A and B are shown apart, each in its own frame.
Chain A
């Protein structure tokens, strides 16, 4: 399996590590790793093989081998596997956090991170798994380019909506920039997808 790392990814990682004050990023990265492993396992399950892993500003992408075409159902399973693994890990960590042991607080944090990763990826936007699942579902009844058009527009509108919500959050007595930054990121990925 090949590994491709883009310059943008290095910059993004650098920025995150730079801003990381409570040592969250390593745990978040591990959560993302498990999420991607979920996709890989699903690919193997449906009989495909993973050819490469691409790390870019858009995120991590698993590229399966080209000569094997997946059915709609298989694609759906592959897309759903990522969030499913994240949510399962979140549940497992939260159960582990019930017993009093030294790693308890870290388990709570890990549970929260995984749940956030799973739920966030289920959003029907941009390159996220939820978006892929939605597109597959729509493709059963509609033409490909129609679905793509609709999806691009929806991603654009919703990410602009998130951005404006995020901006109003910020302006309203200097708030949390997370929503705004997430909206921006989603908007930037829309451009990437087109490229």
Chain B
């Protein structure tokens, strides 16, 4: 065999191993083998320590883990990022769009929300892509509108649970191109972004206990999309109408408890759930700020809070952008 052939074989079969024969003797190990074995044992020990130490409540290891973890996770919610990519394939989005999503979600910057939002919105508008749209999967037709039961949302929105602020991201609808509301800034200040003309009122002033987007469901522990925000408040707190409009429907269900929906101008609807009492009837006209219900804990709820959803032209948006909230 010439040298060239041996080299080919080496390359073909992986890293170079100088010993080509295996010795099955049970004698003592050579110095080299002993060293390697010690190294392996040390590494296994470190692995064991880390594995167990991860659960430790206090101490340097925990602090180190928190610091490192913060650095890695501060900017990107990896679980949501991968889920979003998966959803992109599942929804039958064009391949180019999915690849772009792969890049921007896994590697991209998520701190500059306007930039990230701009990227996903541009990709959401299929007409702008100059390349022929090859779909990975055949597109999904009209996926059933989720009617009041808490089934999966149509629009994925990634959220970083580590950060205190809820990052705004306009979800892209698979059947319509989203009308992206103008983003004021990425910081959660008391100033709210404009969703529609006319006066807008915060239904309940409180702390957001659960934000918009993917999160671990507090009751069943599933990784689900949260289609609105949860605002903590005492039982019986009056819930004010988000804006002037008409009562679209009122109802009661095991998941949402007592709920109601208001229809406003500009294609905006607001939805209020887990109420303890509903104070309006279907078809009734309300002004911005009118008390329409009371906070409760009916339905699938862990405590008294208002579950608030906002939709513009059928697309769910993050209500935290459009109402005032109390920071902790």
Contacts and interface: CB of A to CB of B under 8 A. Distances in A.
Contacts of A14: 46-47, 50-51
A162 B18 CA distance: 33
B102 A119 contact: yes
A10 B47 CA distance: 6
Contacts of B76: 176, 178
Interface string B224-248: 1100000000000000000000000
Given A63-B13, A112-B83, A174-B74, A7 B223 contact: no
Nearest to A87: B136
A98 B140 contact: yes
A125 B152 CA distance: 38
A94 B90 contact: yes
Interface residues of B, number: 63
B111 A106 contact: no
- Say what secondary structure dominates the interface of chain A: helix
B314 to A, nearest CB: 19
B305 interface: no
A22 B82 CA distance: 12
Interface residues of A, number: 63
A140 interface: no
Contact of B86 (A23, A75, A93, A176): A93
A61 interface: yes
Given A6-B40, A95-B137, A109 B82 contact: yes
B137 A91 contact: yes
B91 to A, nearest CB: 8
Contact of A11 (B43, B82, B112): B43
A161 interface: no
Nearest to B111: A173
A30 B67 CA distance: 27
B181 interface: no
B13 A64 contact: yes
Interface string A1-36: 000011110110111011101111000000000000
Contacts of B73: 19, 21
Interface in B174-200: none
B204 interface: no
A75 B50 CA distance: 39
Interface string B92-110: 0000001100100011111
Interface of A: 5-8, 10-11, 13-15, 17-19, 21-24, 54, 61, 63-64, 66, 69-70, 75, 90-91, 93-95, 97-98, 100, 102, 104-113, 115-116, 119, 144-145, 148, 166, 169, 172-179, 182, 192-193, 195
Interface of B: 4, 7-9, 11-16, 20, 39-40, 42-44, 46-47, 50-51, 54, 65, 68-69, 71-79, 81-87, 89-90, 98-99, 102, 106-112, 136-137, 140, 151-152, 162, 214, 222-225
The 7 closest A-B pairs by CB, nearest first: A112-B82, A111-B86, A7-B43, A112-B85, A108-B86, A112-B86, A94-B90
